[in-house]
Structure 1
Amino acid sequence: MRVSGEGLVLGVVLDALLGDPRRWHPVAGFGRVASRVERDLYADSRWRGVVYAGVLVGGAGAAGVALERVARGRLGHALVTAGVTWAVLGGTSLGREGLLMARALERGDLEAARERLPHLCARDPRGLDAEGLARAVVESVAENTSDASVAPLFWGAVAGIPGLMMYRAVNTLDAMVGYRSPRYERFGWAAARLDDVANWAPARITGGLVVLCSGREAWRVLRRDGARHPSPNAGRCEAAFAGALGVRLGGVNRYGGRVERRPEMGDGRAPEAGDVRRAVRLSAAVTFAAAAVIWSLR
């Protein structure tokens, strides 16, 4: 595997300047392929789910290897890496969605905020008040700072273009089928477990970068509360953000007809609209800190 630190950093710059491609997004194309494969392979079976995830993630890796082979020379490889990095990163789009939510909350338009929330997370927005909406956004920005930015950069630094593409395939499949629902509890099991494994190190790196960008309180809350979350990874990100922002995260979440009660993280007040903006700024700082680390190690 060839790794281009310059290409990864250039991809971060492209994402910051351009955001996600508005048309012909490669990740959206992968999602359409995954949907067609699901129609052919679906059964209420873990083994079918293992085959489904293996075929699609393996196919993404093979495509990455092919791209590495056609990239000529150091410059060519750096440019191809930059293009793939831009395609798989989602930090700028995450921040834009967060700011749209912040503006709706600041003007008191809860209906607009409820309509927009599904762009960030699967939580049921019906009945959420301003504090509940702000908490949902801060938690989503925290968790997705790892998923959308740090994790793809980590796997790109470890395994080059195939690492970038396989990670995004894993994360996309988890978003599509990794739910504890009657349809996907068994079929989506492999995708969800793959996502847990792929995000184990990046989530902890994200927590460490939040501490680096914000200070001691983030470290204190991360150490105390990071393992309390039912997810092996999301809690590290959310706890670090809670400490950095001085807010309290966690509580009751509703997903359709399912209710989850999560332990609280942090010692501060409930999040407000202004905290959403602060979370977006912190997420961007963490992304650039990750890029700086990659640049220093290139």
Structure 2
Amino acid sequence: MARVALLMLCAFWLGAARAGKLLVIPADGSHWMGMKPLVEELGRKGHEVVVVIPEVSMSMGTSQHSTTLTFPVPYTKEDMMEAFDGAMDHFINRDLSTMLRKLKNYWDTMDALNWFTMLTSESLLYNKELMQKLRDYKFDALLTDPFFPVGIIVGEHLSLPSINIHTSLPCPLDFIATRNPRPNSYVPHRYTQYGSSMSLWERTVNLFRAALEPAGCSRIYANADKVASQFLQRKTTIVELASRAAVWLMFYDFAFEFPVALMPNMVLIGGLKSGKPKPLPQVMVHLDLCLTEKSLKTWWQHQRTALLIMRPLSISLCTYN
């Protein structure tokens, strides 16, 4: 399985391999925007690429050099946008003043994603005509985003080697499924907002967060686990199915992520977006800062990430008070 997936990956970079058949099941939103250039490039190089998407989505549609298959879903575009607007209002107005409130907001987000995932997954898996068409294609590999776990289920059903493309997951499925080592003593977990130098209390919270992450995955994929078990007719989970992926393509931007160890089947493919980078502007931004030594250190801890992605900076500091 790993050889077939690696063949598809090498074909993208080198273009010298024979043309193959690739099934693509993406996730909506920014996930699709990051995957789309890769899909179009594979199609341009001569591979037969088939993209499966729901009839109703926020941003997904046809792409160049590929075939697009759609399936009906039990909700309208208005329903989706209403739910999205409600989620954004909740996100903007949420109270994150304490760790308990942060935890509650995390669970609420998991529940909302859980409901949407179940509806869309069942609509695809139990579409007999579409599933038969996918079998008839006799694909060589599957490219999918685990954020939308139905792709993992389809890949298992069709016995396809899967290439999981990682962008942003509400739980660390990539690390849990691959059993990738992450020492909690010095690697901050996502969304903790901690730096590489943590106090004893922050390390304790980081450890507590690590203990909750498997529960978070279980919660967000609870309905997907049921759908997978019913459809595959055996007891299974999304985490178990994801652990069989041949390759993980990792969208990692180290302006926002701390360096971590990676398993051999995890490949770094760039930052948040795979579009061609634009040249930096020639205009320099000049900042005049008059800060005490203590406040300067505090400011830098919060701004060092932002400075990495801003335009070139010319910073002058006055004498410490």
The structure whose Rg is larger is 2
Which range, TM-score by smaller chain?
under 0.3
Greater share of strand residues, 1 or 2? 2
> Which has the higher relative contact order, 1 or 2, with Cα contacts under 8 A spaced 6 or more apart?
1
Greater share of helix residues, 1 or 2? 1
TM-score, length-normalised on structure 2?
A: 0.26
